[in-house]
Structure 1
Amino acid sequence: MAATTGTAGASAPEGTVRLTVAQATIAFLGNQYSERDGVRQKLFEGCFGIFGHGNVAGLGQALLQAELQEPGLLPYVLGRNEQAMVHTAVAYAKAKDRLQTWAVSTSVGPGATNMVTGAALATINRLPVLLLPADTFADRAASPLLQELELPHAGDVTVNDAFRPVSAYFDRVWRPEQLPAALLSAMRVLTDPAATGAVTVCFPQDVQAQAHDWPVELFAERTWHVARPRPEVRALAAAADLIRAARRPLVVAGGGVHYSGAADALAAFCAATGIPVGQTQAGKGTLVHDHPQCLGAIGSTGTTAANAVAAEADVVIGIGTRWSDFTTASRSAFRHPGVRFVNINVAPIDAVKHSGVSVVADARETLTELTPLLDGYRVPEEFRTGYTGLDAEWAATVQATFHPTGGDTATAPGVLTQGEVIGLVNELTDPRDVVVCAAGSMPGDLHKLWQTRDAKGYHVEYGYSCMGYEVAGGLGVRLAAPDRDVVVMVGDGSYLMMATELATAVQEGIKIITVLVQNHGFASIGALSESLGSQRFGTSYRYRSAGSGRLDGDKLPLDLAANAESFGVRVLRVSTAAEFADALKTAKAADDSTVVHVETDPLVGAPSSRSWWDVPVSEVSELDSTRAARTTYEERKTDQRPFLRPSSS
């Protein structure tokens, strides 16, 4: 990079280059690479941005200059919503197994704080994304600024401090000299599989535009090695001893299996031992659905097969899972009185949960070394026969849900159910196509019903279960995997939260297929409300009734298909299974984005997982429905048990 002349006319000293802080940031980011197993790739595919007064003359100018002088260094994409841009970047990182991501630039004020939800989602899901929010003036010469927070008790706090609790790393560049340290620390965290998440580096508006003489070494290509820590010998031996003594062991496979590329190692481990596998939302696809040891989803939205085996498991082997309440059915899933845990996880915070044998290491490396230590061990034949039969029963339940009439879905009368829609998408898409979802009733139904045929074919964000992630996430998945069709499944509730990135898909010529399910309200929370005795209150899209004063009038005339058309995408309205099948085939054959709009019956749910989720019910109430729900809640609460229990002695 050649030296430049500053506005004062002075040339940069030998061995340095004179750039603004913003220009130096973009030049640095464009030269960062990640590497694992000898495969090297750019760490940042590009930068999403929405410009305002806080970043248009700083980072915005730097991105323009890079686009004109060094095309491809850090391509810029204009987003439509700040939160959505973060979701797109996070979905991209998830699809790339955390080895690549995007930067996201916004203005100060609401542009910045709109990203806080996206930051929380990234950090909770352990997915890397770099956030570059503008900030107020460092010199405070013009304070208070437009959109500046003023606090009587602190002069150095800005709205961007809201990022601190939801970021894996946070920094603010008050002076140009601080930039190298801030950027290098950011890269360290982004490429650390145990510590990654949202990384936030704030840039005061005036500092962005300040020029500085930077050492040319700052802009040299830098490769960040993503490590595969191997397990300690003693921890591995302890895990092997515990598993060898097990009569009814179970693997719970989480997202860490995907991120470490351990799917093949898991399949080999299960084939050698006969140990069955239940899968978390993030871990779905770690074994394909018809693998002999795959029991599918586990937990509150799990299959009856996986949950039945979990209830009697004497040893549970968690691989790359955070052990969320949905996975453990709020700690009611594992009921064997002597159940023991083996936790294989690259993150110590997850490896120590449930007081199990803690193996802090890469999933692929651990499985590769653990399998030979179990040579000669096989689960008892009656156990294998039992879980195989349970799995077959669930498979029949799935088919009955996909084809409720027992015949061709094209002849099924009436409004389609959500289960039928999922079945149609599952059966009419190609094995390598990717289904994307995040919130509402759809993720739970997909978790238990979707039959994965490819390790990367299932992408559901359920760590934060953020409404509005779906369309933006689908865009990120398609950017990461342009050779795969991406099918976004979204309900009307999530669609109304954030469908704006359909415009970005049109702008960039990126194809996604969106299945928009209209059921006139919040189906998931409606069903939950009913089960808790709250009578689906506040969960339907209705007019306020003049007579009752409540939201119990006629359905609102929301035409979401017309709304989607306004973004410039093709929209196909369907109502029958035959029409839906034709529409999906049309969408797959197209080169651009399509929305398939279908109404479903929100009162027909997916088959029960025979599991539980702990959502407290009012202890006292004047409502009969609430009192009945409280009785049920107290009964289910007795199944909840801590994993640190008093000794029987």
Structure 2
Amino acid sequence: MTTDGPRTVRLTVAQALVRFLAAQRSERDGVRHKLFAGCFGIFGHGNVAGIGQALLEAELRTPGALPYYQARNEQGMVHASTAFARMRNRLTTLACTSSIGPGATNMVTGAALATINRLPVLLLPGDVFAIRPANPVLQELEDPRGYDVSVNDTFRPVSAFFDRVWRPEQLPSALLGAMRVLTDPAQTGAVTLAMPQDVQAEAHDWPVELLAERVWHVARPLPEPAALARAVEVIASARRPLIVAGGGVIYAEATGDLRAFAEATGIPVAETQAGKGSLPYDHPLALGAVGATGTTAANRIARQADVVIGIGTRYSDFTTASRTAFAHPGVRFVNVNVAVQDAVKHAGVGVVADARETLRVLTEALARWSVAAGYRELVGRLAAEWDETVQRAYTLGHTPMPAQSEVIGVVNEVSDPRDVIVCAAGSMPGDLHKLWRTRDPKGYHVEYGYSCMGYEIAGGLGVKMAAPDRGVFVMVGDGSYLMMAQELVTAVQESIEIIVVLVQNHGFASIGALSDTVGAGRFGTWYRYRNPHSRRLDGDILPVDLAANAASLGVKVLRARTIDEFRDALRQAKEHRGGPVLVHVETDPLVPAPSSESWWDVPVAEVSELESTRQARKSYEANKEHQRPFL
């Protein structure tokens, strides 16, 4: 390193990038956080001489400023970073660097997940040569429409911000633009800075101001008085109001304010997947999950609600039961959200503001208003009835293999109140949404915006890195485990203590059940040998041993056959120190969780030779009649 005068420092683009990231801070409510807690990376020819060299130099020069973590799969490291950011309420995240080509495009799925869930993560994929000395280089896409196109352009539709740094002079504006989006709760998501491999290694004289500590204020927008007045008027007119709490309640750290508002007004609270934990499961006004994977308590109240107050939710199809959940003919919506596009959904009264600040003002404005005592009593009765349903599902006594609901019950029993449950795809998220007894606002971590198979183990890794003082239970089915289990090696390498509950049901159980509902008879969802006679995949069960696979990666493995053995294994896993533990248990995939009395819109073939499909179509058309446009 050399200096050119007192106001510049000569570094490569990659070295300047790494120093800049190490110096960034976020701040909310007067509390500062490191914006980047580290950088995941897998090196190849597209980043090893640039960002790889810069990370090594930083580790030697200022240990701990931007720690490097070795990943095994590029998609997995993005999932881990996204889970980390979610656990830290979007105030801290991680960066991810990959080589050009397949290393970069492996991150695209992770980018989509982060952007859909509105969680900040910084992606730094290597890119083609800027000066084209030897085109086409290894792994370069030759697009006849233009030589400035690379595979990294696939990040554009799934990134909240995208830029390519063709010249060193472009780096400052790209970095400042990236930080603006990463720290904006309304716009955040995956931020991609594509880094041509020759530019990464190019030296430049950088203003010292670029590399100085910089604080990014995470705002809490206040509600506009006129919008607030309209919201208060609508809420005060309600006889059977319902709050739908989304992830925005938890990210805004507004769970205490939600509780105060609910208790003051008597308005019950239902929760989305991201909002689960907004109230403890046993609070008198907690109805639990709402929608297609909801509780009967929440969905019965939802059908009768004349005013729905959505706080920090984007009203996904699962939340609204494909727009059949809110059935009152005159239902109106009040939507509190930092994102304008969510605040105006369902023709609602939009309050574009922070959840915590809005709840405080609403509580004050409605201080003399409350629902009728009979409504509170109805809510309590329905919630109690559902809790009894959950208890029965937890204790079915199903043999010879336990039901999935029993496995969930044992994990809930053995885990501590502040422990975190992690899941993402298959039948498990729906069962967890309706059955898991959440006791802490950060105790439930189910990725359901993208519902990405393979997120679970990588996500659990990120959760534990973000909250090392909490126990972490990853629940994953065999289908999702086969998609991506490599990050177990990183957990072994870093001695990260997560407990992976591997539920083996020999197939894609979730889609199997869905296949039944559309009249397709679980076609293509079992893990079976091809039958030499029928030529279909309906032979014997495949002899796959995923527990042995985990053991081969260096993971401590425990096996359980019965529900009592499973409970003992979980308790043993909790006592293990020094790395991950995997508990393997087989379950019966044909034992469903209790019904949510709800619906999800998945089209059924309009004509078919199969009687099962024809009957499914009749049911589908009957449910379609209940969909509402909310205009």
Q: Same fold (TM over 0.5)?
A: yes
Query: Could you tell me how far apart the structure 2 residues matched to 1:14 and 1:306 are?
Result: 64
Q: Which residue of 1 aligns with 2:448?
A: 462
| Deviation at residue 12 of structure 1 after TM alignment | 2.5
| Deviation at residue 310 of structure 1 after TM alignment | 0.2
Q: Secondary structure at the match of 2:512?
A: helix
Q: Which residue of 1 aligns with 2:177?
A: 185
Paired AA for residue 106 in structure 1: S
On the 8 A contact 1:13/1:213 being kept in 2, the answer is no
- Alignment equivalent of 1:610, drawn from 573, 597, 602: 597
Paired AA for residue 36 in structure 2: F
Query: Could you tell me how far apart the structure 2 residues matched to 1:206 and 1:254 are?
Result: 44
Query: Could you tell me how far apart the structure 2 residues matched to 1:163 and 1:459 are?
Result: 25
TM norm structure 1: 0.97
Query: Could you tell me how far apart the structure 2 residues matched to 1:90 and 1:295 are?
Result: 28
1:386 aligns with 2:372: no
Q: Which residue of 2 aligns with 1:510?
A: 496
Q: Which residue of 2 aligns with 1:593?
A: 580
Paired AA for residue 94 in structure 2: W
Q: Which residue of 1 aligns with 2:630?
A: 643
Q: Secondary structure at the match of 1:430?
A: coil
| Deviation at residue 413 of structure 1 after TM alignment | 3.8
Runs of 4+ in 1 over 4 A off after TM superposition: none
Q: Secondary structure at the match of 1:496?
A: helix
On the 8 A contact 1:252/1:321 being kept in 2, the answer is yes
1:527 aligns with 2:519: no
Q: State the Cα deviation string for residues 20-58 of structure 1 (Å, max 9, x = none).
A: 000000000000000000100100000000000000000
Q: Which residue of 1 aligns with 2:617?
A: 630
Q: Which residue of 2 aligns with 1:89?
A: 81
Paired AA for residue 608 in structure 1: S
1:317 aligns with 2:309: yes
| Deviation at residue 380 of structure 1 after TM alignment | 1.2
| Deviation at residue 455 of structure 1 after TM alignment | 1.0
| Deviation at residue 249 of structure 1 after TM alignment | 0.1
Query: Could you tell me how far apart the structure 2 residues matched to 1:631 and 1:349 are?
Result: 35
Matches within 5 A, 1:429-578: 429-578=415-564
1:419 aligns with 2:405: yes
Paired AA for residue 615 in structure 2: A
Query: Could you tell me how far apart the structure 2 residues matched to 1:139 and 1:176 are?
Result: 13
Unaligned stretches of 5+ residues in structure 1: 6-10, 406-411, 645-649
Query: Could you tell me how far apart the structure 2 residues matched to 1:551 and 1:145 are?
Result: 42
Q: State the Cα deviation string for residues 453-484 of structure 1 (Å, max 9, x = none).
A: 11111000000000000000000000010000
| Deviation at residue 152 of structure 1 after TM alignment | 1.2
1:377 aligns with 2:377: no
On the 8 A contact 1:132/1:202 being kept in 2, the answer is yes
Q: Secondary structure at the match of 2:380?
A: helix
Query: Could you tell me how far apart the structure 2 residues matched to 1:501 and 1:513 are?
Result: 13
On the 8 A contact 2:128/2:137 being kept in 1, the answer is yes
Paired AA for residue 433 in structure 2: H
Paired AA for residue 57 in structure 2: Q
Count of aligned positions = 630
| Deviation at residue 375 of structure 1 after TM alignment | 1.2
1:350 aligns with 2:350: no
| Deviation at residue 224 of structure 1 after TM alignment | 0.3
Query: Could you tell me how far apart the structure 1 residues matched to 2:378 and 2:34 are?
Result: 48
On the 8 A contact 1:300/1:609 being kept in 2, the answer is yes
Q: Which residue of 1 aligns with 2:33?
A: 41
| Deviation at residue 641 of structure 1 after TM alignment | 1.2
| Deviation at residue 378 of structure 1 after TM alignment | 1.1
Query: Could you tell me how far apart the structure 2 residues matched to 1:399 and 1:549 are?
Result: 43
Paired AA for residue 75 in structure 1: P
Query: Could you tell me how far apart the structure 2 residues matched to 1:154 and 1:314 are?
Result: 55
Q: Which residue of 2 aligns with 1:408?
A: none
Query: Could you tell me how far apart the structure 2 residues matched to 1:57 and 1:154 are?
Result: 27
Matches within 5 A, 1:44-59: 44-59=36-51
Q: Which residue of 1 aligns with 2:287?
A: 295
Query: Could you tell me how far apart the structure 2 residues matched to 1:616 and 1:35 are?
Result: 46
Q: State the Cα deviation string for residues 31-89 of structure 1 (Å, max 9, x = none).
A: 00000001001000000000000000000000000011111111000000000000000
On the 8 A contact 1:316/1:342 being kept in 2, the answer is yes
Q: State the Cα deviation string for residues 283-312 of structure 1 (Å, max 9, x = none).
A: 000000011110000000000000000001
| Deviation at residue 388 of structure 1 after TM alignment | 1.3
Q: Secondary structure at the match of 1:57?
A: helix
1:150 aligns with 2:168: no
Paired AA for residue 580 in structure 2: S
On the 8 A contact 1:85/1:472 being kept in 2, the answer is yes
Q: Secondary structure at the match of 1:104?
A: strand
- Alignment equivalent of 2:4, drawn from 8, 12, 28: 12
Matches within 5 A, 1:128-143: 128-143=120-135
On the 8 A contact 2:419/2:471 being kept in 1, the answer is yes
Query: Could you tell me how far apart the structure 2 residues matched to 1:238 and 1:349 are?
Result: 18
Q: Which residue of 1 aligns with 2:211?
A: 219
Q: Secondary structure at the match of 1:324?
A: coil
Paired AA for residue 329 in structure 2: P
Q: Secondary structure at the match of 2:49?
A: coil
Paired AA for residue 518 in structure 2: L
Query: Could you tell me how far apart the structure 2 residues matched to 1:353 and 1:231 are?
Result: 17
Q: Which residue of 1 aligns with 2:224?
A: 232
Paired AA for residue 628 in structure 1: Q
1:621 aligns with 2:598: no
On the 8 A contact 2:396/2:403 being kept in 1, the answer is no
Query: Could you tell me how far apart the structure 2 residues matched to 1:341 and 1:85 are?
Result: 38
| Deviation at residue 13 of structure 1 after TM alignment | 3.5
Query: Could you tell me how far apart the structure 1 residues matched to 2:597 and 2:347 are?
Result: 26
Query: Could you tell me how far apart the structure 2 residues matched to 1:543 and 1:154 are?
Result: 47
Query: Could you tell me how far apart the structure 2 residues matched to 1:544 and 1:170 are?
Result: 45
| Deviation at residue 14 of structure 1 after TM alignment | 3.3
Unaligned stretches of 5+ residues in structure 2: none
Query: Could you tell me how far apart the structure 2 residues matched to 1:322 and 1:512 are?
Result: 31
| Deviation at residue 354 of structure 1 after TM alignment | 0.5
| Deviation at residue 376 of structure 1 after TM alignment | 1.6
CA root-mean-square deviation: 0.7
1:307 aligns with 2:299: yes
Query: Could you tell me how far apart the structure 1 residues matched to 2:177 and 2:598 are?
Result: 43
Q: Which residue of 2 aligns with 1:409?
A: none
Paired AA for residue 83 in structure 2: A
Q: Secondary structure at the match of 1:58?
A: helix
Paired AA for residue 497 in structure 2: K
Query: Could you tell me how far apart the structure 1 residues matched to 2:127 and 2:415 are?
Result: 45
1:99 aligns with 2:107: no
Query: Could you tell me how far apart the structure 2 residues matched to 1:321 and 1:378 are?
Result: 23
Query: Could you tell me how far apart the structure 1 residues matched to 2:25 and 2:378 are?
Result: 48
| Deviation at residue 438 of structure 1 after TM alignment | 0.2
Paired AA for residue 314 in structure 1: D
Q: Secondary structure at the match of 2:48?
A: coil
Query: Could you tell me how far apart the structure 2 residues matched to 1:193 and 1:146 are?
Result: 38
